Amino acid sequence: MASSPPSSEAGDPPESLPENPAAQPAPSPHGMSARTRFLVYLTAWLIVLLPFLFWWNTWFGRRLSDQQITEYLQDEKHPRHIQHALVQIGERIAHHDAGAVRWYPELIRLVGDGVEEVRNTDAWVMGQDTAGAGFHETLLRMLQDPSPMVRGNAALSLVRFGDASGREQIVALLQPARVLAPIAGRVVDTARAGTAIHQGGLIAKLQPATPPAGDSPKGESPAEVRSPISGRIRSISVATGASVAAGAELATVDPGDEQVWEALRALYLIGHPDDLPAIRPYERNARAVPERVRQQALLTDRAIRQRASAQP
């Protein structure tokens, strides 16, 4: 039998009871209201979803339809869309998809794009088809591109055409890149030597030198100096707080392993004895040189010397 609720003692005010217990919200077993639980679950879901959407929209492996490729190639507001389309075209060429020819005029047009990464990817794609109309001539023009990476990629693609015109640019891919001050100013921040860095990574910030009165507004933001290549910062040549002239060396960056490996593979085919001093540092059995790179350097050295000895 259910017991009745205990009665209050004499003189104590009676406990107030809700008029309609069924109308009160049931407490959560976890101490949270349904609304709070919903907000927690929604936040957790967004934490997972947003990085996935960012990855999905920037991942070049996501397959595009023919219509999407055409649209992406024209999307000048989103350079990564253009790169995505170029990568997809390159993969179709590699799989001998004859339909990729429809976009070849676009590949030639994009060599004049204002975004370095687009031109760099474009040079790589044109090297996938040595029969592409106009590709050979276009790649030769790209050897004059202002970007060292674009020049290097164009030179590597030309090797596929049996053309060694870009040999000097390929040798340059083995050498450290000098990072120069674009303006005169005071160094307000620098990266650290030994740090791995991507192409476009921040090397230093320069506060512009104070201009003559009336030439420029005061409080100008620092100029950002970025790495022209991916690799590792070998040295920083200036200290924070130092004043530098325009054109002064700020840092040197050693090229990344993939860049070195591709250059060595190309020189295996077209290298000259004059190139050996640039190759031999990678033959060392050192921690900084991966074994794959070291072996390729040794093979390239041998191939060059054999070609030289076979010449009359």
Give, in words, the CATH class of 177-209+221-255: mainly beta
pLDDT in tens, 112-151: 999 999 999 999 999 999 999 999 999 999 999 999 999 9
Dump pLDDT digits (tens) for 80-104: 999 999 999 999 999 999 999 999 9
User: Is residue 219 very low, low, confident or very high in pLDDT (cuts 50, 70, 90)?
Assistant: low
Q: Are strands 185-190 and 202-208 parallel, antiparallel or unpaired?
A: antiparallel
Asked if 226 contacts 200 with a C-beta cutoff of 8 angstroms, the reply is yes
159 or 39: which leads in pLDDT: 159
Rounded Cα–Cα distance for residues 133 and 150 (Å): 20
In whole angstroms, what is the distance from residue 183 CA to residue 244 CA? 8
pTM to 2 decimals? 0.75
Quick check: helix, strand or coil at residue 265? helix
